[in-house]
């Protein structure tokens, strides 16, 4: 979205084999990546692979200049962020002491860019007091860390020490590069379709993928918000830095959102909540033999609670400081329907999207939305990736928050 200059420093642990995947994740997001390696890292992964993927020469020697300049200073100055992944116990110790006897340590000490490190090592090396002390010294100097995760380790042990997934590290780097404009704000985002049970195996649901809500949650977390994602039916992975509660029905979503509301400054309701649910759900599977041979199954539907309206009522009752955003997914008559919804519910903003378009809305990666405001203004956005729609929306939310403090 916003191409940045990222230096990836790789040190000599087994997890170095994931470095090429990390370069792909970063370049895939549009960033410009230059790699440097310790001598021992080159025993685990070939510099040629990183060179081919990053399309930049890869340095591993402090005294072998690739550019005719003093490489470690030129690279350190070029960086907008320096990422060390994996970082070995050895390199953590050296950096804690300020040792600069190779290209990686010299780049790290010389740069003024933010630093993010992803440790990876055997669980006992990780838990050793000296490693923890050295890491604490780096954190004290402003180094950010991501991972390690717990699980099966390449050395055969189990426990903490696995390097985080490259996608997670790439997200963490994105966060380091993003202005923390929502820091200190608790944001609730709902996403996905609800699922209204008919019996123990069947339900009434809809085609919402949850992608829009997940993109908003991810973007809010990148901006430093404390994000709670209340997710309906969706196979999507939880975005980096986001807390998630999974719910099934609209009733469950209603309960969670209303319970969490008091602690939040922002509520964004991107979920596709079913308006109706079966009056009664059978606890057992309804069998065909139990029905008359020529008869169908009648399902009596009753109205679900209106989560957005109830949120707006609560917010008004408590002084109206929170920002509440609703979504209106409509197949026709889109803007007037969104305006009616805005008036009925009393929220701050409605995001209207036309789900009749095949290139936008449900289950695709792009969306064409309009922001519908209470004063009558309508802002129509072009067809954009959902991450960018999320960024545009959060810019408006930040403005509303600013006006209320
Ligand atoms: C097969 C093998 C795997 C290793 N894996 C790790 C590891 O995952 N993490 C770690 O901190 N050290 C690991 N080491 C030890 C480092 O390679 C060693 O400390 C080395 O000096 C690190 O150099 P560097 O920090 O300059 O890259 C491993 C060593 C070997 C032989």
pLDDT band at 360 (very low <50, low <70, confident <90, very high): low
Shared domain for 64 and 33, answered yes or no, is yes
Shared domain for 379 and 269, answered yes or no, is yes
Cis peptide before 148 (omega within 30 of 0): yes
The beta-carbon contacts of 22-27 under 8 Å, at least 24 apart in sequence, are 22/83, 22/85, 22/166, 22/169, 22/170, 23/50, 23/53, 23/54, 24/53, 24/166, 25/166, 25/167, 25/169, 25/170, 26/170, 26/173, 27/53, 27/54, 27/55
Shared domain for 275 and 167, answered yes or no, is no
Shared domain for 261 and 147, answered yes or no, is no
Query: What is the domain-level CATH number for residue 34?
Result: 3.40.50.1950
Q: Indicate the number of domains in the chain.
A: 2
The closest residue, in CA terms, to atom 17 on ligand 1 is 12
Q: What pLDDT does residue 293 have?
A: 77
pLDDT band at 362 (very low <50, low <70, confident <90, very high): low
CA atoms within 13 A on the CB side of 93: 9
Closest CA to 347 of 314, 389, 369, 391: 314
| Angstrom distance (rounded) from CA 241 to CA 224 | 9
Residues 6+ apart with CB under 8 A from 248: 194, 195, 197, 203, 232, 233
Q: What is the mean pLDDT of residues 254-263?
A: 97
Our answer on whether the CB atom of 41 is closer than 6 Å to any ligand 1 atom is: yes
Tokens describing residue 73: 């200073």
Residue 294 has pLDDT above 80, yes or no: no
Shared domain for 172 and 298, answered yes or no, is no
- DSSP letter at 284 equals S
Please state, in angstroms and as integers, the Cα–Cα distance from residue 16 to each residue in 7, 41, 368, following that order: 15, 7, 40
Residue 126 has pLDDT above 70, yes or no: yes
Q: Which of 88, 100, 119 for a ligand 1 pocket mutation test, highest count of atoms within 8 Å of Cβ?
A: 88
Our answer on whether the CB atom of 88 is closer than 6 Å to any ligand 1 atom is: yes
What's the 19 CA to ligand 1 centre distance in angstroms? 15
The closest residue, in CA terms, to atom 20 on ligand 1 is 12
Shared domain for 165 and 45, answered yes or no, is yes
Our answer on whether the CB atom of 134 is closer than 6 Å to any ligand 1 atom is: no
The model's pLDDT over 86-118, given as tens digits with 9 standing for 90+, comes to: 999 999 999 999 999 999 999 999 999 999 999
Our answer on whether the CB atom of 14 is closer than 6 Å to any ligand 1 atom is: yes
What's the 10 CA to ligand 1 centre distance in angstroms? 11
The closest residue, in CA terms, to atom 5 on ligand 1 is 13
Our answer on whether the CB atom of 84 is closer than 6 Å to any ligand 1 atom is: no
Shared domain for 204 and 166, answered yes or no, is no
The closest residue, in CA terms, to atom 15 on ligand 1 is 13
Q: What is the mean pLDDT of residues 305-318?
A: 95
* Percent of the chain with pLDDT strictly greater than 90: 84
pLDDT band at 65 (very low <50, low <70, confident <90, very high): confident
* Percent of the chain with pLDDT strictly greater than 70: 99
What's the 91 CA to ligand 1 centre distance in angstroms? 9
Please state, in angstroms and as integers, the Cα–Cα distance from residue 127 to each residue in 16, 111, 306, 315, following that order: 20, 29, 50, 46
The model's pLDDT over 35-62, given as tens digits with 9 standing for 90+, comes to: 999 999 999 999 999 999 999 999 999 9
Domain boundary among 108, 142, 177: 177
Query: What is the domain-level CATH number for residue 311?
Result: 3.40.50.10300
Q: What pLDDT does residue 232 have?
A: 96
pLDDT band at 377 (very low <50, low <70, confident <90, very high): very high
Tokens describing residue 213: 């809500």
Q: What pLDDT does residue 335 have?
A: 93
The closest residue, in CA terms, to atom 14 on ligand 1 is 13
Our answer on whether the CB atom of 8 is closer than 6 Å to any ligand 1 atom is: no
Our answer on whether the CB atom of 108 is closer than 6 Å to any ligand 1 atom is: no
Helix (H) or strand (E) holding 162: strand 158-162
The closest residue, in CA terms, to atom 11 on ligand 1 is 88
Residue 214 has pLDDT above 70, yes or no: yes
Residue 227 has pLDDT above 90, yes or no: yes
The model's pLDDT over 165-189, given as tens digits with 9 standing for 90+, comes to: 999 999 999 999 999 999 999 999 9
Shared domain for 164 and 192, answered yes or no, is no
Shared domain for 87 and 217, answered yes or no, is no
Q: What pLDDT does residue 357 have?
A: 74
pLDDT band at 153 (very low <50, low <70, confident <90, very high): confident
Residue 361 has pLDDT above 70, yes or no: no
Q: Which positions are catalytic?
A: 155
| Angstrom distance (rounded) from CA 230 to CA 189 | 6
- Of 158 and 83, more confident: 83
pLDDT band at 365 (very low <50, low <70, confident <90, very high): confident
Shared domain for 299 and 316, answered yes or no, is yes
Residues 6+ apart with CB under 8 A from 116: 81, 82, 83, 84, 143, 144, 145, 146, 169, 172, 173, 176
Mean residue pLDDT of the chain comes to 94
List the domain range (segments joined by +) for residue 196: 186-404
Our answer on whether the CB atom of 89 is closer than 6 Å to any ligand 1 atom is: yes
The closest residue, in CA terms, to atom 22 on ligand 1 is 12
Residue burial 317-341, b: 16+ Cβ < 10 Å; e: rest = eeeeebbbbbbbbbeeebbebbbeb
Residue 201 has pLDDT above 70, yes or no: yes
Q: Which of 10, 16, 87, 90 for a ligand 1 pocket mutation test, highest count of atoms within 8 Å of Cβ?
A: 90
Domain boundary among 139, 160, 177: 177
Shared domain for 144 and 252, answered yes or no, is no
Secondary structure class of 320 (helix, strand, coil): coil
What's the 45 CA to ligand 1 centre distance in angstroms? 12
Domain boundary among 177, 208, 226: 177
């Amino acid at each position: 979205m916003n191409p940045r200059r990222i230096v990836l420093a790789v040190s000599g642990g087994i997890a170095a084999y994931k470095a090429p995947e990390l370069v792909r994740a970063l370049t895939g997001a549009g960033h410009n990546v230059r790699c440097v390696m310790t001598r021992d890292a080159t025993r685990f992964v070939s510099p040629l692979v990183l060179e081919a993927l990053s399309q930049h020469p890869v340095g591993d020697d402090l005294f072998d200049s690739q550019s005719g300049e003093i490489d470690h200073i030129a690279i350190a100055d070029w960086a907008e962020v320096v990422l060390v992944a994996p970082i070995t116990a050895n390199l953590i110790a050296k950096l804690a002491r300020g040792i600069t006897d190779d290209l990686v340590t010299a780049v790290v000490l010389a740069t003024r860019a933010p630093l993010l490190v992803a440790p990876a090592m055997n669980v006992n090396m990780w838990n050793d007091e000296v490693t923890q002390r050295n890491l604490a010294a780096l954190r004290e100097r402003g180094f950010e860390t991501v991972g390690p995760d717990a699980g099966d380790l390449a050395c055969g042990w189990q426990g903490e020490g696995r390097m985080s997934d490259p996608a997670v590290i790439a997200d963490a780097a994105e966060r380091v590069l993003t202005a923390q404009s929502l820091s200190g704000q608790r944001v609730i985002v709902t996403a996905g379709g609800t699922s209204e049970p008919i019996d123990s195996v069947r339900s009434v649901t809809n085609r919402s993928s949850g992608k829009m809500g997940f993109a908003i949650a991810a973007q809010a977390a990148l901006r430093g918000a404390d994000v709670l994602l209340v997710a309906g039916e969706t196979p999507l992975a939880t975005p980096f830095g986001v807390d998630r509660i999974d719910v099934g029905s609209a009733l469950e979503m209603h309960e969670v959102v209303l319970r969490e509301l008091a602690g939040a400054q922002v509520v964004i309701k991107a979920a596709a909540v079913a308006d109706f649910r079966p009056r009664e759900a059978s606890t057992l599977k309804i069998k065909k033999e139990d029905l008359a041979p020529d008869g169908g199954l009648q399902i009596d539907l009753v109205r679900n609670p209106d989560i957005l309206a109830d949120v707006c009522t609560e917010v008004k009752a408590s002084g109206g400081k929170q920002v509440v955003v609703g979504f209106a997914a409509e197949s026709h008559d889109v803007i007037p329907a969104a305006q009616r919804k805005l008036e009925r519910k009393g929220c701050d903003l409605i995001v209207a999207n036309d789900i009749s378009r095949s290139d936008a809305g449900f289950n695709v990666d792009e969306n064409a939305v309009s922001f519908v405001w209470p004063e009558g203004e309508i802002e129509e956005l072009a067809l954009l990736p959902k991450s960018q729609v999320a960024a545009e929306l959060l810019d408006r939310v930040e403005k509303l928050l600013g006006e209320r403090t």
